[in-house]
Amino acid sequence: MLDVLIIGGGPQALTLATLLSCPDQALSPPPPNTDILQGIQFSQGRAKTSRSKSKRGGATREDNYTAAQCFLRQQTAEPEEQAAPDPESVTSCPPLAFRVVDSYGAWTSLWESQFRALNIPHLRSHTLVHTDPLNKKALQEFVLEKDRTAELHCLPDHTFILDENAFFNDMRLGKKDRRRLSSSRGLQKSLYFSLPGTRLSVDFFMQQVDKYGLDSVLTKGTVDRLTPVMSEGIVTSFRVFLQNGDVLEARRVVMATGPTRAQMANIPFWVSSIAESYPEERLQHTVQLMHHHSRSTRQQEPRSQNQEQEESSSSLSSGPHVVCEPGQRVVVVGGGLTSAHVISIALQQGASHVTWVMRKHLQLKQFDVGDVESLVGRYSHVEQGIKMDGLAYLRQFYNESSVHKRLAMIRQARKGGAVTPEAYAALQPYIQTGQLSVRAYCQVTEAKWCYESQVWRLSLCGQNGCETWTGDRIWLATGCKLDVNQDPMLSSVIKEFPIQVLDGWPCISESLQWAPGCPLYLMGQYTALQVGPHALNLAGGQAASARIAKDIIFQHSRSGYGGTGTQTTVERAHTEEYIQQMHGLMWL
């Protein structure tokens, strides 16, 4: 019997598997006052390390960094002697027998497939946000060791907004600070706030898999359902049934898949009202793109460092999915970053015209959680009674006992779908020429397929009244619906252990365990009410992994090799511990 089975092989699962493979390191507290942000900078392809210096009088123009760099300057003091370790981490943990089951049979395959299908050039998260929880500077060190700084993407100097409906979330900054954020020596020259290219990130993942020997624990298989094995009202193990007929048994299960499967796509109401039969490829959801490419398209033979550098850092090898034919008219529904990528591909593939339909305004935001100023924890502001600077926000969130208020804070922090300034800049020429039309505050109310002319006719209603769109293809970039009650994998667990569900969000424990006596753990978006609005992101993966690993390893250490591991920890407020997990990853 396995001690732990992780369902899903994405980046968050990779983070947790790394901790479980090194249980003693996972429980060791970091030395106090250790500065993980050591002022590493790069210039013209060369990397160097700089220390902040004491200034007499005013700072020079060269050293007058941006708001983020002022916060991130290296401290000159040496780390103090390590404090006494937590009693829970003193005992050496017996090895954990764990396995990861993934539909593609390869690490981060679905994640990579999405980036390849949408031709995404780089991550949205900066270089301190990655999958190695044992070394927060691992990605920085990988970049320098492999001499691949050319694959880091700088934050944009300026963004010119042509669409009157667009909204850019840095208007609370003063003129002086806006100028600093746009300076040539500003945020975009910082190695820790650069955005790693997609190919670079995938190679970093593979290096991590090799480093911790994680290929041997991954098994190809698709989970059909899992059933708890009960004894006196508690779960002693889970039976996990795979679609090929195999059955795995584990004392604890971690669900690291999230609501990303095709059957959980968020389909607008008007789609189900279409009476006519239409060709399947003429109306698709972007979630289908994530499953279009399998890991088999990746090169099978090892590549040399020169070959890695010769590959384009802007896309993976097999290129984007075909989203339209040359000359076709396309409508894209949705206002998030995925919609911008689909539009870009359609225009590159020869679409004669694209109409971009979104319910709200076009929101531009560098990171999908928090604005630039709140990311660095320096500029605080209040929105609807919620203080939004990073440190205060996290402390308020973790100290909040009401799940309803937590949900309100999550929604306010994310503010719905948003597009990065660089993705918007790539679309600006098409907006200017009229090849791309933006319909903000607009919704589709009806769709009809005309068999005779082989075109769609959509009724669009917005602030300026209603109009009819006629075209060839419809792409839905409307995301996936979050409703744990509708997840087929969890049906048996919900039946045996019903818990509170708030608008689809499960109210799980602080340790991210489903319920007392039920050692099923969740990762990803399902954990937002505990982890925060960044639960879906790589930063949320590190936070969730730390909580789950700590709970599993502690219970495993107590039960030893042969125990059932059914004990549950006493939940306490761990606000400062949870904030520390975010140091350097999100706002702090």
Question: pLDDT for 65-99, tens place per residue?
Answer: 233 333 233 322 333 333 334 444 445 777 899 99
Segment 189-193 mean pLDDT: 58
Q: Residue 456's closest CA among 288, 318, 315, 278?
A: 278
pLDDT score recorded for residue 37: 43
pLDDT higher for 180 or 267?
A: 267
pLDDT score recorded for residue 576: 77
pLDDT higher for 107 or 233?
A: 107
Please give the share of the chain, as a percent, with pLDDT higher than 90: 40
pLDDT in tens, 2-14: 999 999 999 999 9
Inform me whether the pLDDT recorded for 139 exceeds 60.
yes
pLDDT score recorded for residue 72: 31
Alpha helices in 56-108 (DSSP H): 67-72
Inform me whether the pLDDT recorded for 43 exceeds 50.
no
What band does 414 get if pLDDT is binned at 50, 70 and 90?
confident
Q: Long-range contacts made by residues 58-66, C-beta under 8 angstroms, separation at least 24?
A: 62/185, 64/180, 65/180, 65/185, 65/186, 66/180, 66/181, 66/183, 66/186, 66/187, 66/190
pLDDT higher for 368 or 73?
A: 368
Segment 330-359 mean pLDDT: 94
pLDDT score recorded for residue 506: 94
pLDDT score recorded for residue 123: 85
What band does 307 get if pLDDT is binned at 50, 70 and 90?
very low
Segment 530-543 mean pLDDT: 88
549-570 in b/e burial notation, b at 16+ Cβ within 10 A?
A: bbbbbbbbbebeeeeebbebbe
CB-facing half-sphere around the CA of 96: CA atoms within 13 A: 35
pLDDT score recorded for residue 204: 95
Q: 135-149, 388-402, 482-496: which range is least confident on average?
A: 388-402
Q: 43-47, 218-222, 337-341, 453-457: which range is least confident on average?
A: 43-47
pLDDT in tens, 97-114: 999 999 889 998 888 877
Answer whether 2-36+61-148+197-260+482-581 and 266-298+309-476 agree in fold: yes
pTM higher than 0.75 for the full model? Answer: yes
Inform me whether the pLDDT recorded for 313 exceeds 90.
no
pLDDT score recorded for residue 48: 44
pLDDT score recorded for residue 258: 67
What is the overall mean pLDDT for the chain? 75
Segment 473-496 mean pLDDT: 89
Q: Residue 198's closest CA among 118, 301, 305, 304?
A: 118
Please give the share of the chain, as a percent, with pLDDT higher than 70: 68
Q: 271-280, 292-301, 458-467: which range is least confident on average?
A: 292-301
pLDDT score recorded for residue 155: 66
The amino acid present at 499, given as its one-letter code, is I
pLDDT score recorded for residue 584: 57
pLDDT higher for 234 or 380?
A: 234
Helix (H, G, I), strand (E, B) or coil at 507: coil
pLDDT score recorded for residue 560: 56
H or E stretch including 372?
Answer: helix 372-375
pLDDT in tens, 295-304: 334 433 344 4
Fold of 2-36+61-148+197-260+482-581: FAD/NAD(P)-binding domain (3.50.50)
Segment 37-65 mean pLDDT: 38
pLDDT higher for 195 or 350?
A: 350
What length is written for the chain? 588
Q: Are strands 473-476 and 283-285 parallel, antiparallel or unpaired?
A: parallel
Q: 85-89, 412-416, 425-429, 548-552: which range is least confident on average?
A: 85-89
State the CB neighbour count (10 A cutoff) for residue 165.
Answer: 16
What band does 291 get if pLDDT is binned at 50, 70 and 90?
low
pLDDT score recorded for residue 157: 56
From the candidate CATH numbers 3.50.50.60, 1.10.260.40, 3.40.50.720, 3.40.50.150, the one assigned to the domain spanning 266-298+309-476: 3.50.50.60
Alpha helices in 247-319 (DSSP H): 269-272, 287-290, 305-310
Inform me whether the pLDDT recorded for 116 exceeds 70.
yes
What band does 29 get if pLDDT is binned at 50, 70 and 90?
low
Helix (H, G, I), strand (E, B) or coil at 291: coil
Rounded Cα–Cα distance for residues 409 and 110 (Å): 29
Report the interhelical angle of 337-348 vs 421-433 (nearest 10°): 50
Helix (H, G, I), strand (E, B) or coil at 280: helix
Inform me whether the pLDDT recorded for 246 exceeds 60.
yes
pLDDT higher for 162 or 465?
A: 465
Sketch the domain layout of the chain as residue ranges.
Answer: 2-36+61-148+197-260+482-581, 266-298+309-476
